[in-house]
């Protein structure tokens, strides 16, 4: 089976009504208990396998789309009162990706934690750096997740970008690098524009891609190759590079990156 889709709803030809199921099994028999939604394909994290269709045709498989009223020690009772014996219950409940535990531990120059700075909506510059948190780099940071391609591609792009930052610091003799707030703000404003109209914010579901403020702070909202292009070179003008103790009075001195041609 080969499935191809586009993250913009108006360009999707066919849609799916099934959200990820919770599967229950018993010896010699399988029951799939799933909830049904009207969300557009891709609104949830989509998963496909060539055996799904044939599995549902097996005589020992039953697809149940009713809700679950009760869970007993060895069975599940459906909304219609039907009791089905089970030995395994798998809860397909999704993930928590916007409330990173480490965000409570890392503090920036102003003493606030990442969690306090983000206030429920993680933001970064190219998914790697956060203004006010010098020398902090993320891999798979905000808005670098994917629902349509391989995350390895994004990680490789960010590794190249961070390596470029380290090379720039060495070349300039800097010990501190911090993305400029205005660069981060402009980048995230562009992300917001790119996200408008995509399936992740208009597909009709409430997925883990969306944070508690209703913002997509997880998914990269377009094709992956533009992200590779953006991270191919470390853009020094977007950052303040400083040598920690390079001035005569011992205070930090900022090393300004020059825009090529100036």
Structure confidence by residue, pLDDT tens digits, 101-149? 899 999 999 999 999 999 999 999 999 999 999 999 999 999 999 978 8
Please write down the long-range contacts of 95-98, taking CB distance under 8 Å and 24 or more positions apart. 95/208, 96/208, 97/145, 97/208, 97/209, 97/218, 98/122, 98/208, 98/211, 98/212, 98/217, 98/218
Helical spans, DSSP H, in the chain:
51-56, 114-118, 151-172, 181-195, 199-202, 225-230
The SS3 assignment for 233 reads coil
Domain spanning 101-256: CATH 3.50.50.60: yes
Rounded mean pLDDT, 236-251: 74
| Cα–chain center distance at 70 | 33
- 129 versus 100: the higher-pLDDT residue is 129
Rounded Cα gap, residues 246 and 253, in angstroms: 6
Where does the pLDDT of residue 238 fall: very low under 50, low under 70, confident under 90, or very high at 90 and above?
very high
- 197 versus 57: the higher-pLDDT residue is 197
- Tell me the pLDDT tens digit for each residue of 23-56: 444 444 444 444 445 566 667 666 656 666 677 7
Count of alpha carbons within 13 angstroms of residue 114, beta-carbon side: 21
Whether 18 has a pLDDT exceeding 60, the answer reads no
pTM of the full predicted structure? 0.69
The residue extents of the domains of the chain are 9-89, 101-256
- Tell me the pLDDT tens digit for each residue of 158-193: 999 999 999 999 999 999 999 999 999 999 999 999
pLDDT of amino acid 50:
65
């Amino acid at each position: 089976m080969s499935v191809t889709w586009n993250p913009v709803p108006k360009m999707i030809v066919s849609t799916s009504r099934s959200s990820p199921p919770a599967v229950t099994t018993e010896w010699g028999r399988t029951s799939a208990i799933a909830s049904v939604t009207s969300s557009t394909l891709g609104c949830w994290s989509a998963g496909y396998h060539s055996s799904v269709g044939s599995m549902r045709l097996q005589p020992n498989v039953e697809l149940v789309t009713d809700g679950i009223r009760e869970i007993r020690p060895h069975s599940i009772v459906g909304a219609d009162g039907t009791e089905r014996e089970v030995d395994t219950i798998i809860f397909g409940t999704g993930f928590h990706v916007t409330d990173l535990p480490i965000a409570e531990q890392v503090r920036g120059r102003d003493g606030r934690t990442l969690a306090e700075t983000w206030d429920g909506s993680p933001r970064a510059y190219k998914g790697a750096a956060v203004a006010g948190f010098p020398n902090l780099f993320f891999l798979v940071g905000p808005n670098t997740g994917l629902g349509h391609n391989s995350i390895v591609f994004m990680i490789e792009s960010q590794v190249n970008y961070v390596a470029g930052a380290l090379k720039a610091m060495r070349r300039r003799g800097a010990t501190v690098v911090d993305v400029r707030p205005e660069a981060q703000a402009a980048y995230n404003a562009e992300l917001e524009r790119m996200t408008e109209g995509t399936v992740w914010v208009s597909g009709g579901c409430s997925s883990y891609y969306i944070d508690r403020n209703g913002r997509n702070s997880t998914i990269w909202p377009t094709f992956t190759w533009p992200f590779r292009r953006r991270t191919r070179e470390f853009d020094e003008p977007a950052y303040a590079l400083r040598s920690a103790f390079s001035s005569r009075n011992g205070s930090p001195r900022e090393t300004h990156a020059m825009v090529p041609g100036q």
